[in-house]
Amino acid sequence: DHQGISNVAPSDAPLHSLPIAAGDPERDVNISAADVRIHDYISNLRFSISPTSFFQVNTLAAEKLYSLAGDWACLGPDTLLFDVCCGTGAIGLTLAHRVGMVIGIEMNAAAVSDAHKNAENNGIKNCRFICSKVRSAVLIFQILVEFIFSITY
């Protein structure tokens, strides 16, 4: 046992997230306010996050990580960036200014809606977000690539 260490937040701790009970993710969440959201920033972009959407809570580390990933990927204006399991679109939206187009794929419909709103609210026009399981989207992409190569060569 570790004296002085607790895994319980003090009762006067400020609330920085929305509590959602564990359970069936497909079940509707009962929230009294019509549109409860939290807002945060990464790379000077404002993100609006609904209760069931994923968002990286360590925004300073996320900003550095996304920038470094973009550097390693050698992004450019001809790059098509796939943001797989995109959540609210944070990675794709922060890198959108470095690529030709971003396609985000996410199976959580609320997160996809957030991603669309976040792109619009930040004036980013080269991002598209798809509500789909990644496997389905990858199969569609493979078929599209095969089709393009069949008519090109």
What architecture does CATH give domain 38-152?
A: 3-Layer(aba) Sandwich (3.40)
Cβ atoms of residues 99 and 74 within 8 Å: no
Taking CA atoms, 148 is separated from 76, 130, 136, 151, in Å, by 22, 21, 19, 5
Does 26 appear as a known binding residue?
no
Does 56 appear as a known binding residue?
yes
Question: Which residues of 4-117 form beta strands (DSSP E)?
Answer: 38-42, 45-49, 80-84, 101-106
Tokens encoding 27: 């079940």
- pLDDT for 32 equals 45
- pLDDT for 33 equals 45
Strands 101-106 and 127-131: parallel
- pLDDT for 71 equals 96
Distance between CA atoms of residues 132 and 108, nearest Å: 8
Which pLDDT tens digits describe the chain residue by residue (153 residues)?
Answer: 556 655 555 556 565 555 555 655 555 555 544 468 899 999 999 999 998 888 998 999 999 999 999 999 999 999 989 999 999 999 999 999 999 999 999 999 999 999 999 999 999 999 999 999 988 877 777 777 787 777 766
In the chain, domain spans: 38-152
**Model-wide pTM > 0.85:** no
